Structure 1
Amino acid sequence: MKPTFIILFSLLVQQAFAQTPLTSTEIKDFKQHVEQTAQQTETIVSDFVQEKQLEFLNEAALSKGTLTFKAPDAIRWEYTKPYTYEVIFKGNQLTVHEAGSTKNIDLSSNKLFESFNSLLINSIKGDMFKDEDFTISYYKTEKGFMVSFIPKEKRMKRFIASFQLSFSEKDYQVTQLKLIEPSEDFTLITFKNKQINVPVPDSIFKM
């Protein structure tokens, strides 16, 4: 059996090489690629897997579904497993369709939802780096890039420790979104089978 300190040292080395801060030149180059990709993106349709990790649960709670985005500001999350419901962000409105009922939320009156929606939209549009609500850090990872957003606003810090967005090195599209709470519980969303600029009818964003 390996001594404990050797195991710990090995883990620290692995973590050190897992992500490396980008230089100012690399950050500039990364931003340009993301912005160029975003300018060419009108629609996105993607499957997703959502993992909710809570301290009191031994295993993560899994959900699956489909994300649909249409420029400039429409996003639809359709959950299909284990429960069926829809969450639609459009403009300053959030609508939830579940079990035959509909709930509407004015995002302008809810800072948390408004910031989350803004981050999602801006990550796809490529102008998230101008958000003054977050301290932003950039990293190179084994599979591409990761950008960390730490809230500046005190009220938001009570609910969110950080957002993390992972990007593909191949096409600079978002591959994962991670929301970390102050308790270190987190929600990780991984996007799969992504289709770019396919036809998307306005009707699916009906509020």
Structure 2
Amino acid sequence: MIFIGDILRSFPLERACPELYSGGCSGDTRKQGCVSTRDLGIPQKHTPTPLSRGESHRPLLLKIGIALLLFFNVILTANAQHAGYTQLTDLTKFKQQFAEVAQKTNSIKSDFTQEKSLSMLSDKITSKGRFWYCKPDMLRMEYTQPFSYLMILNKDNVYIKDGQKENKVSTRSNKVFKQINKIVVDCIQGTALNSGDFKSAVYESKGNYLVALSPVNKQLSEFFKTIEITVDKKDYSVSTIQMLESSGDSTTLHFTNKEINATIPDALFAIK
């Protein structure tokens, strides 16, 4: 199933909910994953370091940015953009199997490596961490290298911890977060491919599927261009998520050491 938490993580939280952030960053810190909002013509806010400023310039989710990703009227051609893949013309079987796996998935644990490419920098920004998910709507994403950064999604609440700074926001009081929450549910339930929020296309190679999502929602398209998700044919688990922005920035998440339906304590998702 799709690790939608990473789309949410990659989503440009500063633009979606600017009250989460304050302060600024400058100088060489940009090369460490933080790009000043001055570069983007946005009022001075702060995006936590692991949630690189490129995320805001893009996405969750996210992003990402969910990176995460998506833009309106993206032309998807298997030969030009997806070398080694051919487009599926009949999605019925794929959607059915994808939904069945999602239905049987109660929890996920995984290590991840994130590679962030900014159009203004030649070097990639690499981060590492751990990911946890428990059905139906609890999610934890913790960055451990090169900086400590934590995001928890628990039902209608989002918790962010950046060093000693802690912030909380309710998805009920923020339209963008409410929409992201809907996307989370769609992906967890395996109905994302049928969602009216995205235009989707599916491609296949010998060992993988590639799911390409483009936003048809105007608000989401302001953040995302495309999200491309590589799914292992053996177990329908996600291997990589590549999120692209119209700016040319991108985020790629690689998942390793995946554990499906492992026991995960609720305490990991507690928001104090």
* TM norm structure 1: 0.85
Sequence identity (%):
31
Q: Aligned with 2:120: secondary structure?
A: coil
1:63 aligns with 2:127: yes
Does 1 or 2 have the higher relative contact order (CA < 8 Å, sep 6+)? 2
Selected match of 1:80 from 130, 134, 144:
144
Q: List runs of 5+ in structure 2 lacking aligned partners.
A: 1-77
Other-structure match for 1:18: 84
- Larger proportion of strand: 1
Name which one, 1 or 2, has greater alpha-carbon Rg.
Answer: 1
Other-structure match for 2:223: 159
Selected match of 2:233 from 169, 176, 198:
169
Flag the 1:162–1:16 CA change in 2: closer, same or farther, 3 A.
Answer: closer
Q: Aligned with 1:18: secondary structure?
A: coil
Equivalent-residue separation in structure 2 for 1:16 and 1:34 (angstroms) = 21
Other-structure match for 1:98: 162
**Aligned partners of 1:47 and 1:66 also within 8 Å:** yes
Equivalent-residue separation in structure 1 for 2:127 and 2:105 (angstroms) = 26
Q: List runs of 5+ in structure 1 lacking aligned partners.
A: 1-11
Aligned residues: 194
Task: Tell me whether 96-105 or 38-47 shows the greater mean CA deviation.
Answer: 96-105
1:32 aligns with 2:96: yes
AA matched with 1:49: T
What are the Cα deviations for residues 107-139 of structure 1, in whole angstroms up to 9, with x where unaligned? 244454444454445334322122211111111
What are the Cα deviations for residues 10-33 of structure 1, in whole angstroms up to 9, with x where unaligned? xx9785642211011xx1111111
Task: Tell me whether 61-70 or 14-23 shows the greater mean CA deviation.
Answer: 14-23
Other-structure match for 1:140: 204
Other-structure match for 2:74: none
Other-structure match for 2:105: 41
CA RMSD of superposed structures (Å): 2.1
Task: Tell me whether 82-91 or 137-146 shows the greater mean CA deviation.
Answer: 137-146
